[in-house]
Amino acid sequence: MVCVTTEDSSGPGSAGGGLDNAAYVQLSESPEFERLRRAFRRFVFPMTLAFLVWYLLYVVLSAYARGFMGTKVVGHINVALVFGLLQFVSTFLIAWLYERHARNRLEPLAELVRAEVPAGTAGAGAGAAVDEPGTHAKNEKDEKEGRE
Instruction: Examine the pLDDT at 109 and tell me if it is beyond 90.
Output: yes
Q: Cα separation of 91 and 96, whole Å?
A: 9
Residue type, 114: R
Bridge partners, residue 77, by sequence: 74
Q: State the chain's mean pLDDT as an integer.
A: 79
Note the pLDDT tens digit of each residue in 35-92: 999 999 999 999 999 999 999 999 999 999 999 999 999 999 999 999 999 999 999 9
CA distances from 42 to 84, 94, 106, 109 (A): 27, 14, 11, 14
Asked if 128 contacts 122 with a C-beta cutoff of 8 angstroms, the reply is yes
pLDDT digit string, tens, across residues 78-95: 999 999 999 999 999 999
**Does residue 143 belong to any structural domain of this protein?**
no
**Predicted TM-score (pTM) of this structure:** 0.65
| Residue 25 banded pLDDT, cuts 50, 70, 90 | confident
Is 133 a domain residue? no
Q: What's the total number of domains in the chain? A: 1
CA distance 122 to 133: 14
Q: What average pLDDT score do residues 28-37 get?
A: 92
Establish if 7 belongs to a structural domain: no
Mean pLDDT along residues 132-142? 48
| Structural domain of 98 | 14-125
